[in-house]
Chains A and B, each alone.
Chain A
């Protein structure tokens, strides 16, 4: 998934008249007084895996609800696969597969019954429904569990049934809300492999929201959402390249004083984020050595590493990813 959208042959090969899957312009959304999205604009290309990354309360869930047609647009304009989201909602829904964060399966029904119910809601019945159920069950490896009640399945299996359900009507666009929430690392990896295969074999466009760096890392492109605005959109590698070199983090008793000392002695501007001095700099390991030698008594601890997406977030917003999350937006 690390290939950029431009390098992805699927995107180039999609010679359909509309190469964009979603074109959104100036989306704003408020819950009463509180603004959840503020003038958000983006374009998602067909055949890419696009992740909206951001802390809780950043606006991801609201964006998911808007794009999956659960709540109506308040302002802005969105075109989904060439259809107007507000005016042609039913047409959009037919071509959209949605995977919810909270289970949308009926635990009292079997895997088969859940899928059949979903097929009927999309107007698919008879032999065609049977074929499609068989196909998605095979694809998701659910064959031996198809007649089990969903409430008896493990979390990972249930998520697979959710995906099978979302794929039953063969959507061109799949949108998932926090698909890895509640999954262990192995199940998360496996689930994300399914998404890659969908992109590669079926040309499905995948949009997901996440606050997992690891999951975001596997997307073709990422939109960083912070306080209802998009801070950046780019492939993960490109985002990381925006951070200058390595990341050195220094903890000190009085970080402001040490920050000034470092500035005077090494002409290095750090900034204080969440009580620690953060310095972005090429050849960070040399700086670590110099700092430890220069201020052995001031430094409580010091660390150094290659930039992660979390560092990108700090670099772009000046906020820590997890620390400043306001209450959940639900």
Chain B
């Protein structure tokens, strides 16, 4: 057990160190979603009223938790993308020949990705007052916890893909086909309430919708009414979000166990 912690810790430390030594990654992962938020929030805010939300919640505010999840998503993708190259001709070769199980490797990677995503999500959280969201201590703690759960789930999904494919080009294609749509249909971009029936169903079977809903409710802990109509009660959403994260991790570990090293 001690050895597993030491092994996963080594991979975790490596992820964190690498990150801070690549300045473009630090800025890119926060700035890109920020630009998204400012431009889309301002542009759509004038002509688009999120249905099912209280009158005082404008689009910028509605979109804000969605952008937090986007920050987490981008960071998770960055953190997993190196896995593809590392496996064939890089750092992971040595890890794969070490007496460490594939599940432990994936756990260290997921933990590293989660930490990086969480740090950047917290940086983005500083902008909450700008979005018109009033945070108290409880809301901050709860939001951070939900961000960690979501980041762990998204990193794990990234790892499922990264351990399965052979090239980084493949990764981009799959990312656009799977990860971005999952995010778009999670209630991040538009609320479930106003969507047509078939789309509502898609959103209801998307586990990220519940994680998204829990995060939204966590942000508004200080002012519950402003969160709008939730997809499910907060407790249920949290349970589904945690199950989502755990399920994604188990699948990632399984994928890694069966992936060839070549």
Q: Residues of A at under 8 Å CB distance from B?
A: 65, 68-71, 90-91, 93-94, 96, 98, 100, 102-106, 108-109, 113, 116-118, 120-123, 125, 149, 165, 330
Contact = CB atoms under 8 A, between A and B. Distances in A.
A68 B93 CA distance: 10
Contact of A104 (B14, B18, B94, B99): B94
Interface residues on B, range: 20 to 34
24 contacts: A68-B97, A69-B97, A70-B97, A70-B261, A93-B99, A94-B99, A98-B93, A98-B94, A98-B97, A104-B90, A105-B94, A108-B17, A108-B21, A109-B18, A117-B11, A117-B14, A118-B94, A118-B98, A121-B10, A121-B11, A121-B99, A122-B99, A123-B2, A330-B262
Given A98-B97, A108-B17, A109-B14, A71 B90 contact: no
B13 interface: yes
Interface of B: 2-3, 6-7, 9-11, 13-14, 17-18, 21-22, 88-100, 260-262
Contacts of A103: 89-90
A125 B99 contact: no
Contacts of B88: 102
Contacts of B92: 104
A50 B8 CA distance: 35
A105 B98 contact: no
A113 B99 contact: no
A65 B17 contact: no
B10 A120 contact: yes
A108 B11 CA distance: 13
Contacts of B262: 65, 70-71, 330
Interface class of chain B by DSSP: helix
Give 3 nearest A-B pairs by CB, closest first: A120-B10, A102-B89, A104-B94
Contact of A125 (B6, B21, B261): B6
Which of B9, B13, B90, B93: most chain A CB closer than 10 A? B93
Given A70-B93, A91-B99, A103-B90, 16 more contacts: A90-B99, A93-B98, A98-B94, A102-B90, A103-B89, A104-B90, A106-B91, A120-B7, A120-B10, A121-B98, A121-B100, A123-B2, A123-B3, A125-B6, A149-B21, A330-B262
Contacts of A117: 10-11, 13-14
Contacts of A91: 99
Which of A91, A93, A94: most chain B CB closer than 10 A? A93
Nearest to B6: A120
A123 B97 contact: no
Contacts of A94: 99
A273 to B, nearest CB: 33
A268 to B, nearest CB: 47
A36 to B, nearest CB: 11
Contacts of A118: 94, 98
A120 B96 CA distance: 14
A151 B3 CA distance: 29
B7 A123 contact: yes
Nearest to A119: B10
Given A65-B262, A102-B89, A109-B17, A70 B9 contact: no
A255 to B, nearest CB: 41
Which of B17, B22, B91, B97: most chain A CB closer than 10 A? B97
A116 B18 CA distance: 15
Contacts of B10: 116-117, 120-121
Contacts of B9: 120
A26 B35 CA distance: 60
Given A65-B261, A108-B22, A109-B14, A122 B98 contact: yes
